[in-house]
Chain A
Amino acid sequence: EAQVTQNPRYLITVTGKKLTVTCSQNMNHEYMSWYRQDPGLGLRQIYYSMNVEVTDKGDVPEGYKVSRKEKRNFPLILESPSPNQTSLYFCASRGNRGYSPLHFGNGTRLTVT
């Protein structure tokens, strides 16, 4: 089944403790992206990657890192999480050519205390 898999689904952590949210897709998509969703603010893009070893900042990249060493994986790294990074995070992927809609993972709800 074609899918985008994020782990974990839920994560509670403390300020300053480094964490990684994993994202993997099995559709051989070139493009992958991370979003955060907050009430009243909709979806905001954090980082995206057009292909392996190519990453770019989205609208809200501060406090986040990403890497794209393999086509299928696009982990989101929070080196020193802060409470304002408490949010619902989504990973998404799509092809790079023509009509290719975004496929979303089921989300990771992160709470930073």
Chain B
Amino acid sequence: GEDVEQSLFLSVREGDSSVINCTYTDSSSTYLYWYKQEPGAGLQLLTYIFSNMDMKQDQRLTVLLNKKDKHLSLRIADTQTGDSAIYFCADQYSGYSTLTFGKGTMLLVSP
């Protein structure tokens, strides 16, 4: 079946860039998402990319998609302590299909 893989943990210093990586197996994925979960809260949509795009930039966030390698990354520039959270990658085949989530990457930002 479909699978989405992420590394479980990333630690960076405040002000550095963070890069969270994700690989997926479904080459038919149409929508790819990044969600952020802060402690004690639900998941919030951070950003997304469509499969016909290679890159998307949104303020401090840059999403890169390599369809050939089925690899998705999220880069956070100038990482702040408030960015400490769990980040989930998810893919979706179509608007009618369910999302497949990775297990999440815990990002710890130290001062």
Which chain A residues have a beta carbon within 8 Å of chain B's beta carbons? 4, 33, 40-43, 45, 48, 50, 58, 90, 92, 95-107
**CB-CB nearest in chain A for B31:** A99
Nearest chain A CB to B96 CB, angstrom units: 6
Nearest chain B CB to A35 CB, angstrom units: 8
Instruction: Please indicate the chain B residues that have their CB under 8 angstroms from the CB of A103 in the complex.
Output: 45
| Total inter-chain residue pairs, C-beta < 8 Å | 51
Q: How large is the interface on B (under 10, 10 to 19, 20 to 34, 35 or more residues)?
A: 20 to 34
**CB-CB nearest in chain B for A100:** B95
Other-chain contact of B88, A33, A43, A45 (Cβ < 8 Å): A43
Verify B98–A101 contact, CB threshold 8 A.
no
Instruction: Please indicate the chain A residues that have their CB under 8 angstroms from the CB of B35 in the complex.
Output: 102, 104
Verify A102–B45 contact, CB threshold 8 A.
yes
Instruction: Please indicate the chain A residues that have their CB under 8 angstroms from the CB of B88 in the complex.
Output: 42-43
Instruction: Please indicate the chain B residues that have their CB under 8 angstroms from the CB of A96 in the complex.
Output: 95-96
**B99: interface (CB < 8 Å):** yes
Verify A58–B31 contact, CB threshold 8 A.
no
Verify B42–A104 contact, CB threshold 8 A.
yes
Q: List 22 A-B contacts (CB under 8 A).
A: A41-B103, A42-B88, A42-B103, A43-B43, A43-B101, A48-B98, A50-B96, A90-B42, A90-B43, A92-B43, A97-B95, A97-B96, A98-B95, A99-B95, A101-B33, A101-B48, A102-B33, A102-B90, A102-B99, A104-B42, A104-B44, A106-B41
